[in-house]
Amino acid sequence: MVEEFKVGVIGAGYVGLVTGACLAQIGHRVTCVDRDEDRVAQLSAGRVPIYEPGLEEMVVRNARRGTLFFTGPGGLREVVRAADVVFIAVDTPQGEDGSADLSNVAAVAKSIGSVLAAAPREKPLLIVNKSTVPVGSGDYVSMLVCDGIDEAGGAGEPAEFRVVSNPEFLREGNALYDSLFPDRIVLGADSREALEAMRSLYDPIIAQSFPTDLDPRPKVSVPLVVTDLASAEMIKYAANAFLATKISFINEVSNLCELVGADVANVAAGIGLDERIGPRFLGAGVGWGGSCFPKDVAALRSVAREYDYEPVLLDATVAVNERQRRRVISKLQHDLHTLKGKRIALLGLAFKPNTDDLREAPSLRIAGELDSLGARVVGYDPVAGKAAARLSPGLRVVFDPYEALAGAHAAVVVTEWEEVRNLDLERAASLMDDPGLLVDGRNTLDPDAVRAAGLLYRGFGR
Ligand code: NAD
Ligand code: UGA
């Protein structure tokens, strides 16, 4: 029998919503709080405002069975009062100087403090930081909760709460799978009771003993990494920075492959079989984007500079990534020469497939550069099209890939959606200017098949 926790999740975005839905799914009673009333109204009506496969079904199922609730900022007080555990899952965007902007986390911590001041508790409240935050943020949250207690006239008793770091490792597009079948759960705290409580909260996931209709990954149990606050916070940044560096590494190798006449896909396969390296995140192309790698690598670089440490490897990781965007333009220029007056189709606009997220999407940067060079840029995305049109004034968005290709001098595969991978190449060639150029920014198409259809193929490092 699962011990039921009363859980509050503050911030109902990609992470908060997925966390809330999964905790409800494994047997807890969860209320998600968001300051965005429109988002709350949609969620309360059973509509999930983000595109994440399977999430809406899980939200609706748990809302119907009375384990998942939503409320606006006005509901925060009641949620915190009733909760055993409160997750902070608000956004921590990149500040102007590259550091993580903690203002949302700080606001939530203070509000929690003011609730604690008004209502003494029998058991300490667990405040769990799921947002990605730099080392020291656990202590910062403790301080701000105490400030909130003080300002609301409470005693500022630290016994009223415990702060835990529980970083999130989900990937957008695979969020439910990653949350229910994680590679590991990381918990950082300076309190044994808090860690024990968190272990019980996650027990159904650790033991893999919850009801699900997802295809489970056979796993005996999920490893738990129990550590101090600072190490837990650092694990999150180190993981993202390592993955971004791995991609930049293969992009560097792919550029060398082009010079020496090797095929990076074969090289990646060859090195990936070494268990110490592993086959994943060795996909060369236009580089990494998204809501997290760019801001998290920037935040880690910013922390390094705070300590007067020059993060040369992280600097290079970013420089290589910047250069990959530019290489798309060079490849187009190589075959088309001037891009003025040329029609270029961008296939896929979201920062990766299976998400509508456009934060730091390579497509937007590439579209902007092409537009400034005088090209006519037409973009297609099965999900993120409308939002992309709002974000990129120089981009004309259409909702059919073949409409994007009609009359195009070149097409660039920016995001490897299934609809893009399964393109009818003959039809594409017949619609494009002759001979159409296809720049495969994700090395996702079969070069021979593209050439057989009558198109000119340019990949990355192959
Ligand atoms: P998001 O922007 O999708 O969602 C954040 C939500 O928090 C928004 O709905 C916003 O309205 C709400 N919010 C902000 N301030 C609030 C406040 N004071 N009170 C109530 N609600 C508030 O962000 P996200 O992508 O879910 O990311 C959240 C955190 O998790 C970030 O630190 C991010 O780095 C980290 N993270 C994200 C992912 C991911 O794949 N998106 C994965 C791992 C970790
Ligand atoms: C990433 C991490 O994978 C998650 O573990 C982490 O929780 C999350 O960031 C976060 O902290 O927010 P996500 O940004 O959803 O997840 O997407 P990824 O699948 O990691 O892809 C990131 C970027 O790298 C995408 O632009 C993708 O196209 C690119 N990528 C990925 C490559 O260019 N090559 C690859 O081989 C893999």
Tell me the ipTM for this assembly: 0.98
Terminal C-alpha separation, the chain: 54
Q: Given the DSSP bridges, would you call strands 395-398 and 85-88 parallel, antiparallel or unpaired?
A: unpaired
The residue to mutate among 18, 292, 357, 366, having the most atoms of ligand 2 within 8 angstroms of its beta carbon, is 292
Q: Which of 9, 10, 14, 70 to mutate to test the pocket of ligand 1 (most atoms within 8 A of CB)?
A: 14
The ligand with the least distance to the CA atom of 350 is 2
User: Which residue minimizes the CA distance to atom 2 of ligand 2?
Assistant: 171
Ligand nearest the Cα of residue 105 is 1
Protein residue closest via CA to atom 22 of ligand 1: 11
What torsion do the CA atoms of 47, 52, 57, 58 make, to the nearest 10 degrees?
Answer: -110
Q: Is the CB of 181 under 6 A from ligand 2?
A: no
Which mutation among 15, 48, 87, 165 tests ligand 1's pocket best, with the greatest number of atoms within 8 A of CB?
A: 15
The one-letter code for the residue type at 326 is R
| pLDDT in 10s for each residue of the chain, 462 residues | 679 999 999 999 999 999 999 999 999 999 999 999 999 999 999 999 999 999 999 999 999 999 999 999 999 999 999 999 999 999 999 999 999 999 999 999 999 999 999 877 889 999 999 999 999 999 999 999 999 998 988 764 545 899 999 999 999 999 999 999 999 999 999 899 999 999 999 999 999 988 777 766 666 789 999 999 999 999 999 999 999 999 999 999 999 999 999 999 999 999 999 999 999 999 999 999 999 999 999 999 999 999 999 999 999 999 999 999 999 999 999 999 999 999 999 999 999 999 999 999 999 999 999 999 999 999 999 999 999 999 998 899 999 999 999 999 999 999 999 999 999 999 999 999 999 999 999 999 999 999 999 999 999 999
Q: Is 177 in the pocket of ligand 2 (CB under 6 A)?
A: no
Q: For residue 216, what pLDDT is reported?
A: 63
284 lines ligand 2 (CB under 6 A): no
Domains 6-227 and 316-458 share a fold: yes
Chain centre to alpha carbon of residue 445: 25
C-beta 357 within 6 A of ligand 1 = no
**144: exposed, middle or buried (C-beta count within 10 Å: 0-12, 13-18, 19+)?**
buried
Counting atoms of ligand 1 from 1, which one is nearest the CA of 131?
Answer: 32
Using CA atoms in the order 268, 360, 245, 383, what is the torsion angle rounded to 10 degrees? -30
Report which of 298, 300, 319 is spatially closest to residue 252, judged by C-alpha positions.
Answer: 319
β-bridge partners, 6:
29
Domain boundaries along the sequence of the chain: 6-227, 316-458
Q: How far is the CA of 1 from the centre of ligand 2 (A)?
A: 36
Task: Determine contact, residues 393/422, Cβ cutoff 8 Å.
Answer: no
39 lines ligand 1 (CB under 6 A): yes
Give, using CA atoms, the residue closest to atom 25 of ligand 2: 288
Query: 3-state DSSP call for residue 167?
Result: coil
- Residue 289 in marked binding region: yes
Does ligand 2 lie within 6 Å of residue 287's CB atom? yes
359 labeled part of a ligand binding site: yes
Structure-block tokens of residue 132: 């990605």
Q: Is 106 in the pocket of ligand 1 (CB under 6 A)?
A: no
Q: Of 22, 32, 110, 131, which is closest to residue 72 (Cα–Cα)?
A: 32
Q: What single-letter amino acid sits at 150?
A: D
Residue 356 annotated in ligand binding: no
Q: Which of 32, 146, 257, 292 is catalytic?
A: 292
Does residue 243 have its Cβ closer than 6 Å to ligand 2?
A: yes
State whether CATH 3.10.450.40 applies to domain 316-458.
no
Whether residue 28 contacts residue 5, with contact meaning beta carbons closer than 8 Å, is answered with yes
Is the bond preceding 435 in cis, omega lying within 30 degrees of 0? Answer: yes
Nearest CA to ligand 2 atom 31: 281
Residue nearest to atom 1 of ligand 2 (CA): 171
Residue-level pLDDT at 120:
75
Please answer whether residues 140 and 174 qualify as being in contact, where contact means their C-beta atoms are separated by less than 8 angstroms: no
CA distance 259 to 197: 56
Burial 313-327 (b: 16+ CB within 10 A, else e): ebeebbebbeebbeb
Q: Is the CB of 71 under 6 A from ligand 1?
A: no
CATH code linked to domain 6-227:
3.40.50.720
Both structure tokens of 308 = 């007067």
Closest ligand to C-alpha of residue 254 is: 2
CA dist., res. 288 & res. 361, Å (int): 8
Residue 338 is assigned to a ligand binding site: no
The torsion region of residue 287 among left (phi > 0), alpha (psi -120 to 50) and beta comes to left
pLDDT score of 215 = 67
Crossing angle of the two packed helices 229-260 and 312-336, in degrees rounded to 10: 30
**21: Cβ contacts below 8 Å, ≥ 6 apart:** 30, 55, 58, 59, 62, 68, 176
Ligand 2, residue 175: give the atom nearest the CA. 15
292 catalytic residue (yes or no): yes
For residue 111, the CA-to-ligand 1 centroid distance in Å is 17
